[in-house]
Amino acid sequence: MYKNYNNGYTLKDSFGRIINNLRISVTDRCNFRCRYCMPEKGMVWMKKDELLTYEEIKRLVKIFAELGIKKIRLTGGEPLMRKELHLLVNMISNIAGIVDLALTTNAYFLAEQAENLVKAGLHRINVSLDSLDPVKFSEMTRRNYFHKVWEGIEAVEALGISPIKINVVLIRGINDDEILKFAHLARKRAFVIRFIEFMPIGADDGWSMNKVVFTQEIIETMEHGLGMKLVPIEYRGSQPEDRFMFEDGVGDIGFISSVSDPFCNNCNRIRLTSDGKLRTCLFSLTETDFKKLIREGADDDTIKEVLVDAVWKKEPGHLINRTGFVRPNRTMSQIGG
Ligand code: SAM
Ligand code: SF4
C-alpha cells in the first residue's frame, strides 16, 4: 500500500494546498504560431509513440480521480490536432469523480468538432483569441485564420455551451489598443473575456517586463473608456482569475494576473504533459515520469504512491520577475497551457 501523508485520499502538498485540478496536454503540436508561444519556424514535435495513448491517459485519470482529482482540462499545443479527441473526452467523462471536463483551444477545428465533443461529455470551452481585428490577429498568431476561429466560437455558442471563455494575451505595442473593443464584446455577448498577463514561458517569445500589460492598466483603461467602474463578481470555485462586471451589471471580465499578482498561494493544479510527465507547477524545473511507470507495468498503488509524493513536493510558487527566476526548459506549448 502506498504511503499516505494526508490521512485520506485527498491530494495535498506540504503547504496545505488541496490539489483537485489536472491539466492534460494531449499534443505539443500546433497549427498556429502565436508570437508569445512559438517561433515561426524550427519547432520540433514529439513522435507519435512518445505521446500517451488515450487508454494510458484514461488509466491515469482514473487513478488520479481516486485520489481526489475532480477537474480536468484538455489542452496542448492545439488539442484539436489530436485525432478524434471526442473519444478521449468520452472516456474521461465516464470516470467516477470527474465533475468538470473542459478544453482550451485556438478554435481552428472547433466548428467541425464541437458537436461531437459536447455529445461526448465536454462541459466547458475556453478559446484563445487575442485580437478582434483580422489583420492584427494574423500578426499575433502568424496565421490568417481569424474567420475560422470566430466560426468555431459561434458553433459552440449555438450548442448552448456556457460560459464560453475567451482568453486574451495582450502584448504592449501590438494588441494593447484593443482593450475597449474587448470590453464592448463582453457587454454585447455572453462571453467571459479573460485577460492573461504575458508570461516568460514561450519559445523565443521576446518577453520583457515592459511588454506585459498589467491587469490594473486594463481595468483603468476600461473604466476610463466606458465611464463606468468595474466591480468584483462573487463566484464559486477556485479559478485563478478575478472576475468583474461593469457597475450597471453588464459584462463579465476575468483577469489572470500571473505576473503582477500570482495566484500561487491558492493553486490547486498539476499538469500532465503529452509525453506523460507530471509537473506540479507551470514553472517547475523537475518532472515525474508517469509514462515510464505505466509502460514498465507499475500497478495502481505504485502510481498512487508516486503521485502523492510528487504532489507533496509542489513548489510554493513561481518567481517571475524576482531574483532566482529560472525559465523551465519546456515551453507552454510543450507543457500544456
Ligand atoms: N492551443 C490552445 C490555445 O491556444 O488555446 C491551447 C494551448 S495554449 C498554450 C493555452 C493558453 O496559454 C492560451 O490561452 C494562450 O494564450 C496561453 N499562453 C501561451 N503562451 C503564453 C504566454 N507566454 N503568456 C501567457 N499566456 C500564454
Ligand atoms: Fe498554438 Fe495555443 Fe501556442 Fe497559439 S498559444 S501557438 S494556438 S499552442
Instruction: Report which ligand 1 atom has the smallest distance to the Cα of 168.
Output: 16
- CATH number of the domain bearing residue 40: 3.20.20.70
Beta-carbon count within 10 A of 188 CB: 10
Q: What is the separation of C-alpha 242 from the centre of its chain, rounded to a whole number of angstroms?
A: 16
Q: Give residue 230 CA to ligand 1 midpoint distance, Å.
A: 25
pTM of the model: 0.94
Separation of CA 83 and ligand 1 centre (Å): 20
Q: Which atom of ligand 1 is nearest to the CA of 167?
A: 14
Q: Is the pLDDT reported for residue 238 higher than 90?
A: no
Mean pLDDT of the chain: 91
- Please give the tally of structural domains in the chain: 1
Q: Which pLDDT band, with edges at 50, 70 and 90, does 163 fall under?
A: confident
For residue 293, the model assigns a pLDDT of: 98
Task: Tell me if 306 sits within 8 A of 288, measured CB to CB.
Answer: yes
- DSSP character for 128? E
- What is the C-alpha to C-alpha distance for residues 176 and 67, in angstroms, rounded to an integer? 42
What is the edge-to-edge ordering of all strands in the sheet holding 269-272? 230-232, 242-246, 253-256, 191-196, 164-169, 124-128, 100-105, 71-75, 21-25, 269-272, 277-279, 288-289
Binding site membership of 145 for ligand 2 (Cβ less than 6 Å): no
Grid cell in block for residue 51? 505521446
**Cβ atoms within 10 Å, residue 124:** 17
Q: What integer is the mean pLDDT of 145-165?
A: 95
Tell how far the Cα of 92 is from the centroid of ligand 2, in angstroms: 24
To test the pocket of ligand 1, the residue of 33, 37, 331 to mutate (highest count of ligand atoms within 8 Å of its CB) is 37
Q: E strands, the chain, where?
A: 21-25, 71-75, 100-105, 124-128, 164-169, 191-196, 230-232, 242-246, 253-256, 269-272, 277-279, 288-289
Contact status, residue 89 vs residue 120, Cβ threshold 8 Å? yes
The C-alpha cell of 107 is what? 478554435
Q: What is the pLDDT of residues 257-279, one digit of tens each?
A: 988 987 788 899 999 999 999 99
Residue 32 Cβ contacting ligand 2 at under 6 Å: yes
Ligand 1 centroid distance, CA of 4 (Å):
35
Name, in order, each residue with C-beta under 8 angstroms of 234's C-beta and a sequence gap of 6 or more.
Answer: none
Distance 36 CA to ligand 2 centre (A): 8
Domain that holds residue 128: 2-335
pLDDT value, residue 266: 86
Residue 320 confidence (pLDDT):
67
